[in-house]
A and B are shown apart, each in its own frame.
Chain A
Amino acid sequence: MPQLSRDTRHAISFTLNGKATSGHAEPRMLLSDFLVHELGMTSVHVGCEHGVCGACTLRIDGTVSRACLTFAVQVDGKRVDTVESLSPEEGGLSDLQKSFRRNHGLQCGYCTPGILMSLDAYLEENPKPSEAELRDMLSGHLCRCTGYVNIVRAVMEHVGNSP
């Protein structure tokens, strides 16, 4: 691949939630800024821009990633999935999302898309986590509203483990 120069907006194309997508970005443009400001993906939330809060978490080729620590040019040719990818084809919410709603697993909802995307990957690897395992995994996200109790409850109900 040639060297992408700093002053130019480079063409990038990738698959976003199953759809072919393209745009232009300077090398230094963060993936989070690209998705929000260039593509209007307001589900990608930015809290800290240094990898700590987890609000911007999404999946790149399946791998859980912080969008704020990734450059848009890095996803050229890749698959990016945000919370919209979780909706079933007929629309509406996934079962996990419904469990979040039933259990009041969110208040302001700022942390929620990131947490759901982490869970999307994590539950593929570990479909029935214990509460301790789940809490350990959630340590990669900050939620300032719920105190995590209802988030844990929502996930445990969804996976069929009582907390």
Chain B
Amino acid sequence: MKPSPFDYIRAASVLEALHGLAAAGDDARILAGGLSLVPMLNFRLVEPSVLIDISGIADLDYIRQDDGIVEIGAAARQSALERWDGIADRLPLVHAAFPHIGHYQTRSRGTVCGSVAHSDPSSELPLCLATLGGEVVLRSAAGERRVAAKDFQTGMLTTSKRGDELVSAVRFPAAAPGSGYAFAEMAQRRGDFAIVALAAAASADRIRLGVGGVADRPAVREWEALEGDALDDALNAFAWDLGGYDDVHASARYRRELVRRLGRNVIEEARSCRS
């Protein structure tokens, strides 16, 4: 239960972090809040040769709004976003998801970008980012690129990020006028990883539903505003397409049922709170 040896760099600036990554490449790991990385180190599931600690880089500790986008820098803690005064108004979906994201004691240090970079298939923040159609900003010594959330997460704990890249920010589209949002989750206990998590966004003529915890990454589907049996049929088809599995927490059949039932609930809730 102790990590293998590694070198440690406390990066004072983005450039320092990028230099460290360029030098060590795939052998390095970024250390942000450490809430997911350090357990993996302690279990020796990962044995990087260098840790680059970005948690103290002041330039990355921000939450900013521009042009209908809320951008969150890589050093911003989850608790900072939770307490941000625009959260209920600008990111109502993330606001609704927050009580399900770990605990008070993990949100205090865990970062928003770290959760997205970690890409656990049951995580709430990557699910919200994918459902809202957000983007991930990647920086390396060679430059910057943006990747749509749906193309970022490529599987269980795997992403399209290169070894020399830093997730410098994530960009959430802010709430659109006339749209409603809702989130629901089933877990063993509050704060545990989701068995199934659902995020819905409803506008006048479209609904979008994101599902986490079933496939190896968040799955998002969009329909024209369906009602009644047509909606049930669409949810049923989606539940089967997700290819759920049996594990110690739940059977695949139970997961499909949660997608059908909670899916319907969150869609109705999102519609009912359209502004």
Q: Are B190 and A28 in contact (CB under 8 A)?
A: no
- A-B contacts, 30 listed (Cβ < 8 Å): A1-B12, A3-B7, A3-B8, A4-B8, A4-B9, A6-B7, A7-B5, A27-B6, A28-B2, A28-B3, A30-B3, A49-B1, A50-B38, A50-B43, A51-B38, A54-B105, A65-B109, A68-B38, A69-B35, A69-B39, A70-B38, A74-B10, A74-B55, A76-B10, A118-B105, A136-B104, A136-B190, A137-B104, A139-B190, A140-B102
In the assembled complex, how far is the CB of residue A141 from the closest CB belonging to chain B, in whole angstroms?
8
**Residue A153 lies at the interface, judged by CB distance under 8 Å to chain B:** no
Tell whether A28 pairs with B4 under 8 Å between CB atoms, given A1-B12, A69-B35, A140-B191: yes
In the assembled complex, how far is the CB of residue A123 from the closest CB belonging to chain B, in whole angstroms?
12
Best-surrounded residue of A49, A63, A69, A73 (most CB of chain B within 10 A): A69
Q: Are A27 and B5 in contact (CB under 8 A)?
A: yes
Q: Chain B 188-221 against A: per-residue CB contact (8 Å), 1 yes, 0 no?
A: 0111000000000000000000000000000000
> What residues make up the interface of B, taking CB atoms closer than 8 Å to A?
1-12, 16, 20, 34-35, 38-39, 41-43, 49-51, 53, 55, 77, 99, 102-106, 108-109, 189-191
Q: Are A64 and B39 in contact (CB under 8 A)?
A: no
The 8 A-B residue pairs with the shortest CB-CB distance, nearest first, are A140-B103, A140-B105, A27-B8, A6-B5, A50-B39, A69-B38, A64-B108, A4-B8
In the assembled complex, how far is the CB of residue A139 from the closest CB belonging to chain B, in whole angstroms?
5
Q: Are B190 and A3 in contact (CB under 8 A)?
A: no
Q: Chain A 30-46 against B: per-residue CB contact (8 Å), 1 yes, 0 no?
A: 10010000000000000
Chain A residues, Cβ within 8 Å of B5: 6-7, 26-28
Chain B residues, Cβ within 8 Å of A121: 108
Q: Are A64 and B42 in contact (CB under 8 A)?
A: no
In the assembled complex, how far is the CB of residue B149 from the closest CB belonging to chain A, in whole angstroms?
26
**Residue A122 lies at the interface, judged by CB distance under 8 Å to chain B:** yes
Chain B residues, Cβ within 8 Å of A136: 99, 104, 190
Q: Chain A 65-81 against B: per-residue CB contact (8 Å), 1 yes, 0 no?
A: 11011110110100000
- Provide the bound-state CA to CA distance between A6 and B48, in Å: 11
Best-surrounded residue of A26, A74, A136, A137 (most CB of chain B within 10 A): A74
Partner of A27, one of B7, B34, B39, B102: B7
Tell whether A74 pairs with B191 under 8 Å between CB atoms, given A4-B9, A51-B38, A64-B104: no
Interface residues on A, range: 35 or more
**Residue A97 lies at the interface, judged by CB distance under 8 Å to chain B:** no
Q: Are A57 and B42 in contact (CB under 8 A)?
A: no
Tell whether A6 pairs with B6 under 8 Å between CB atoms, given A64-B105, A66-B105: yes
- Provide the bound-state CA to CA distance between A57 and B51, in Å: 23
Q: Are A70 and B34 in contact (CB under 8 A)?
A: yes
- Provide the bound-state CA to CA distance between A66 and B110, in Å: 11
- Provide the bound-state CA to CA distance between A84 and B61, in Å: 31
| Closest residue on chain A to residue B5 by CB atoms | A6
Partner of A1, one of B10, B39, B102, B191: B10
- Provide the bound-state CA to CA distance between A1 and B13, in Å: 10
| Closest residue on chain A to residue B190 by CB atoms | A139
Chain B residues, Cβ within 8 Å of A64: 104-105, 108-109
Chain A residues, Cβ within 8 Å of B42: 30, 49-50, 68
